Amino acid sequence: MGVTEERVTKQLTFARNASGLTRGLSLIDVFGMGIIDILPLYGIWFMFMAGLALFTGANLFISLGITAITFGVASPIMWGVLGGSMPRSGGDYVYNSRILHPSIALAASMGMILGQFYWNIYMATWITQPSLQMLGQFMGWPGLVNFAESKWGTFACAIVLYIVAFCMVGFSMRVFKAVQRPILLISLLTTAICFLPMLFTSKGAFIANWNAAAAHYGSLNYSSFVAAAEKANGAAFPTTWNWGDTIGGFTAVFMLVIYAWCSVYVGGEVKKPSRSIMMANALGGFVTVALAFLFLFGAYHVAESKFLIAAAQTEYNGGLAGYNFPWASGVLGISFVASGFNRVIGILLSLTWLISTIAIFGVIMTYVSRVLFAWGMDRMGPKFFADVSHRYGTPIKALLFATVICGTFTAAYILWLQNALTGLFASGLMLVTVFLVTAISAIVFPYRKRVRGIWESSPFYGWRLARVPVITIAGVVYLSYLVILIYYSFFNSKTRDVTGRSIFTFVAVWVIGVAWYFFWAWRSKKREIDVGQSFEMLPPE
């Protein structure tokens, strides 16, 4: 081998002896990442709106309870065992590439990145709508509402959001921790405080508040609102629940638990990962489920089920003839009315959504950058993906790359392409890429010869139930729940247009992901580098 060729080979090796990342994240830090990524107020808003609007006969108490004791238990076990057995940053890409095949892992994590980019593009508008928009509506400030609803106001706030998020996570995780902890505390406390008025307000007082606001704004009173919503629905709302709609309600409540998994993407930076990753996932799901139950108890305390269905459908459909309140009729509006139009509650609802949006941007861009980092460590991408800043201890170039790409698409979406990204197709994309593929990896992990050494050295090797590895059992439960969600994403007429409408996008992502793997494998082979060796070992910490 000549000198020049040898130099090229060394450059492409990316120095696997050390990654440059450090284990500085505690259990509280990764728990905070999970809570922030779930975004409890959004999850509860989505549960109520989508759950009752699409499945009017759903009992959300039962939907949430079943989800908590099945998926809510299986998820932290599955991700915790994988993360504790392979405690490296990169998450599902690391596990799937070692257990299944790197081409499958590349396709799945390509879908994960696209899904997270979609969420960021979608959530970039949340600073103005609903955060500032809601504040203006609750406070009676039409100027703020007009600014929040303007295209250029939304664009300006989105750009500021990207800059703040990058600064929060790019310049060492110490900065992120210092910002995240107060945001975590504020968001959890304010969410709980905003729902408490519903528990201490009688049904009669709530109806009186609603009717007083209806008279002030020339809107439908309590009973007329329900009647108008039933007329728009084309049929009377059910007075009892049924199992079909309750199972369908899984597609609304799953948002409250499924995204607690994000701590695995910083597995190489977590202290005591075999304990912290699993506990953080479990605590994240428990806290958000508890907040969701708090809201449901409060909502059914102040209003009848028909009214709640009418409120959910009105918000889901973007309005109702005769409904003239300046705020939306769902979770946030119900809380505000129950509080007696308390301005402090109005400010807290707006503030909670705003600061949670800022924090979730930082979390998402963090683990997207860690996926790119893991690709780079395996020579599955440009060298700069794996370049960790000695000063900041973060893959700042990969983070900047992801921020610029996502920010560019966000600008295009806000200014010109708002009709191009409709529906929550990212949910369906994540189901069939990240979650489904990783569930299969979890099920077969103890039985795959190629990772026998990793499994036998895992701290969870002895975790068995009736001689079956616990991770396999957790993976089966997790996969079974996913099958229900996938059915509603792609086949059920009530929800397929909401979560799974872009099936061609999913196919394209997999084609691009597999092609990406073979391109980089071919590129390395031309320089006499066998990338297969990378997948016989774990990336360095």
CA distance readout (Å), 197 to 192, 206, 233, 315 = 10, 10, 30, 21
Instruction: In whole angstroms, give the CA distance from residue 202 to residue 214.
Output: 18
Count of the separate structural domains present in the chain = 1
Please check whether residue 381 lies inside any domain of the structure. yes
CA atoms within 13 A on the CB side of 373: 33
Q: Report the CATH number that the domain containing residue 282 is assigned in CATH.
A: 1.20.1740.10
**Number of Cβ atoms within 10 Å of the Cβ of 319:** 12
Q: How sure is the predictor about 23, in pLDDT bands with cuts at 50, 70 and 90?
A: confident
Handedness of CA 252, 256, 257, 260 (dihedral sign): positive
Instruction: In whole angstroms, give the CA distance from residue 402 to residue 352.
Output: 26
| Minimum mean pLDDT range among 304-318, 404-418, 435-449 | 404-418
Q: How sure is the predictor about 14, in pLDDT bands with cuts at 50, 70 and 90?
A: very low
- pLDDT score at 209: 95
Alpha helix stretches (DSSP H) within 200-255: 203-217, 222-233, 243-248, 250-253
Q: What is the mean pLDDT of residues 376-384?
A: 87
- pLDDT score at 9: 40
- Side chain identity at residue 328, one-letter code: A
Q: How sure is the predictor about 11, in pLDDT bands with cuts at 50, 70 and 90?
A: very low
Domain extent, residue 352, equals 3-536
Q: What is the mean pLDDT of residues 115-142?
A: 86
Please check whether residue 541 lies inside any domain of the structure. no
35-59 burial, b at 16+ Cβ within 10 Å, e below that, comes to: bbbbbbbbbbbbbbbbbbbbbbbbb
- pLDDT score at 306: 95
| Minimum mean pLDDT range among 153-157, 436-440, 500-504, 513-517 | 500-504
Please check whether residue 487 lies inside any domain of the structure. yes
Q: Looking at the DSSP assignment, which residues form a beta bridge with residue 266?
A: 89
Handedness of CA 441, 444, 445, 451 (dihedral sign): negative
For the chain, the straight-line distance linking the first and the last C-alpha, in angstroms and rounded, comes to: 31
- pLDDT score at 194: 86
Per-residue pLDDT for 240 more than 50? yes
- pLDDT score at 173: 81
Query: For 458-502, what is each residue's pLDDT tens digit?
Result: 999 999 999 999 999 999 999 999 999 888 877 777 666 555 455
Predicted model pTM: 0.88
- pLDDT score at 8: 40
Per-residue pLDDT for 71 more than 60? yes
Q: Running DSSP on this structure, what letter comes out for residue 458?
A: S
Instruction: In whole angstroms, give the CA distance from residue 362 to residue 31.
Output: 15
Per-residue pLDDT for 396 more than 70? yes
- pLDDT score at 129: 83
Query: For 192-236, what is each residue's pLDDT tens digit?
Result: 888 888 999 999 999 999 999 999 999 999 999 999 999 999 999
Query: For 42-65, what is each residue's pLDDT tens digit?
Result: 889 999 998 999 999 999 999 999
**Number of Cβ atoms within 10 Å of the Cβ of 177:** 15
Per-residue pLDDT for 510 more than 70? yes
Query: For 493-504, what is each residue's pLDDT tens digit?
Result: 766 655 545 567
What's the chain's average pLDDT? 86
Do the Cβ atoms of 358 and 161 come closer than 8 Å? yes
Per-residue pLDDT for 255 more than 80? yes
Q: What is the mean pLDDT of residues 164-172?
A: 86
